[in-house]
Amino acid sequence: TQLLEQSPQFLSIQEGENLTVYCNSSSVFSSLQWYRQEPGEGPVLLVTVVTGGEVKKLKRLTFQFGDARKDSSLHITAAQPGDTGLYLCAGVPNNAGNMLTFGGGTRLMVKP
Amino acid sequence: DAGVIQSPRHEVTEMGQEVTLRCKPISGHNSLFWYRQTMMRGLELLIYFNNNVPIDDSGMPEDRFSAKMPNASFSTLKIQPSEPRDSAVYFCASSSSGVVQYFGPGTRLTVT
């Protein structure tokens, strides 16, 4: 069992649809990050959330950190084919220094 | 800035051979991380250096794996002898803030 559980694992949708990806844990995290990884490349940081209840927006992407800092969600509005990729959440458990723990990822495909 | 540089990008080798993966972190970053990514296990942290000193190597699978960081601008991950189950994409990441990590493009290793 992973410390960070992501759901769904796979998601295939049509262009224009909305979607939400979840990242859950029973542990408290100092911060949570979301990365996007495209084929043949390394993960690229999208956002870091630090405060419980925090909401951050990045164009059509909305990120939320749970009040108890145990979970996070990523919502994409009007998905586009360019959003296709592997979305990874990662966090630093309390008192774990700066070692990131990664979730298993959500593989998103947006069809034109 | 050139970002994190990894070489080679692809490596195909036979079982039993020695494999050396190389990483040049972003200049000025003081933390370096080696990860392994597979479909089955996702992204796993192998070892983490801070100021060239190994801090946590609990993720290194076994004695066949070793990592060094002789200076702030270079690190190697060595597998000797390699086995087919070592086939994966190996990522190097560096950080200055301790939490936000910048990933290299990865080395795809295939052991036949």
The CA-based angle B107-B46-A24, given to 5 degrees, is: 100
Q: Which residues of B touch A103 (CB under 8 A)?
A: 42
Element (H, E) at A2: none
Q: Which two tokens stand for residue A24?
A: 């859950």
Q: Which residues of B touch A31 (CB under 8 A)?
A: 99
Nearest of A5, A4, A6 to residue A92 by alpha carbon: A4
Termini Cα distance of chain A: 35
Average pLDDT over residues B31-35: 95
One-letter amino acid for residue A12 of the chain: S
Contact: A45, B43; criterion CB under 8 Å: no
Average pLDDT over residues B3-31: 96
**Which pLDDT tens digit goes with each residue over B47-73?**
999 999 999 898 898 899 999 999 999
The beta-carbon neighbor of A102 closest among B42, B48, B102 is B42
How many CB pairs below 8 A link A and B? 49
Distance from CA of B103 to the nearest CA of A (A): 5
Cβ(B67)–Cβ(B47) below 8 Å: yes
Contact: A42, B31; criterion CB under 8 Å: no
What are residue B94's DSSP bridge partners?
Answer: B32, B102
**pLDDT on residue A94:** 75
Residues of chain A under the 50 pLDDT cut: none
Of residues B87 and A31, the one with the higher pLDDT is B87
**pLDDT on residue B61:** 86
Nearest of A5, A24, A30 to residue A97 by alpha carbon: A30
Contact: A42, B100; criterion CB under 8 Å: no
Q: Is B3 helix (H, G, I), strand (E, B) or coil?
A: coil
One-letter amino acid for residue A104 of the chain: G
Q: Is B87 helix (H, G, I), strand (E, B) or coil?
A: coil
